[in-house]
A and B are shown apart, each in its own frame.
Chain A
Amino acid sequence: QQQVKQSPQSLIVQKGGIPIINCAYENTAFDYFPWYQQFPGNGPALLIAIRPDVSEKKEGRFTISFNKSAKQFSLHIMDSQPGDSATYFCAASKGTGNQFYFGTGTSLTVIP
């Protein structure tokens, strides 16, 4: 059973567009929600993370929106660039320990 559901599976946007990737979870014990970016041949790189007591967090061109009541969170990439073309994963964890439950990933392509 997928504990974190991610959509869409793939996304194509024009340069300057704002791709939005969505994730949903069921387990209300989750209390930490990171987003990772992965390029082919590399491990995932932490982009930005949020906790349930905050509804929005911005770091550079990346914004997480968090809706605790709906158990959903999303990643927005402002002014997207071709260099942002990668696979993006949302994740969730709970309590003590570093056990992440990952979404299935979104392959983003930004067209010049």
Chain B
Amino acid sequence: KAGVTQTPRYLIKTRGQQVTLSCSPISGHRSVSWYQQTPGQGLQFLFEYFSETQRNKGNFPGRFSGRQFSNSRSEMNVSTLELGDSALYLCASSLRGADTEAFFGQGTRLTVV
């Protein structure tokens, strides 16, 4: 069956702009989590959605937001982009949450110039 699909794979944006990233989970999975990966900070949790509700949230500023649709697809939005937002953004899907395996997509490489 198809894996986790993230679009776009690469993105270049200018400081101050906003960006929306998309994640389509594995069919049947209801939990979608988002992570930011940078060389300096590693993998950091942004937020998790389950059945269209945000269930957990990491320590990121309010410029980072997300949502989940009724088909479990999720979007992440970053407003007023800063140079430090350049990173690989990963989403992971699982059937229900912590008691089931989580599978990552290939990520979206965001570069802010």
Residues in A lying within 8 Å of B, measured CB to CB? 31-32, 34, 36, 41-46, 49, 89, 91, 93-105
Which of B6, B99, B105, B107 is the most central at the interface, judged by chain A CB atoms within 10 Å of its CB? Answer: B99
B42 pairs with A32, CB closer than 8 A: no
Contact (Cβ within 8 A) A96 B104: no
Determine whether the beta carbon of A98 is less than 8 Å from that of B104.
no
Candidates B45, B99, B106, B107; contact of A100 at CB < 8 Å: B45
Interface size class, chain B: 20 to 34
Stretch at the interface among B11-19, B50-58, B64-72, B78-86: B50-58
Binary contact track B1-25/A, C-beta < 8 Å → 1, others 0: 0001010000000000000000000
Nearest A residue (CB) for B109: A41
Query: If the complex has contacts A32-B99, A95-B98, A97-B97, are A43 and B104 also in contact, measured as CB distance less than 8 A?
Result: yes
Q: A34–B100 Cα gap in the complex (Å)?
A: 11
Per-position binary interface string of chain B over residues 34-62, scored 1 when its CB falls under 8 Å from any chain A CB and 0 otherwise: 01000000111100101000011010000
**Nearest chain B CB to A44's CB is how many angstroms away?**
5
Given A99-B45, A102-B43: A93 in contact with B104 (beta carbons within 8 A): no
Given A34-B102, A104-B42, A98-B107 contact (CB < 8 Å): no
Name, among A43, A94, A98, A102, the residue most crowded by chain B CB atoms within 10 Å (CB to CB): A98
Shortest CB-to-CB span from B43 to chain A, Å, is: 4
Complex formed: what's the CA distance from A49 to B50 in Å? Answer: 22
Would you give 8 A-B contacts (Cβ < 8 Å), ordered by A? A41-B106, A44-B90, A46-B104, A96-B97, A97-B55, A97-B56, A100-B33, A102-B35
Which of A89, A95, A97 is in CB contact (< 8 Å) with B43?
A89
Query: Known: A43-B105, A97-B56. Is A102-B98 also a contact (CB below 8 A)?
Result: no
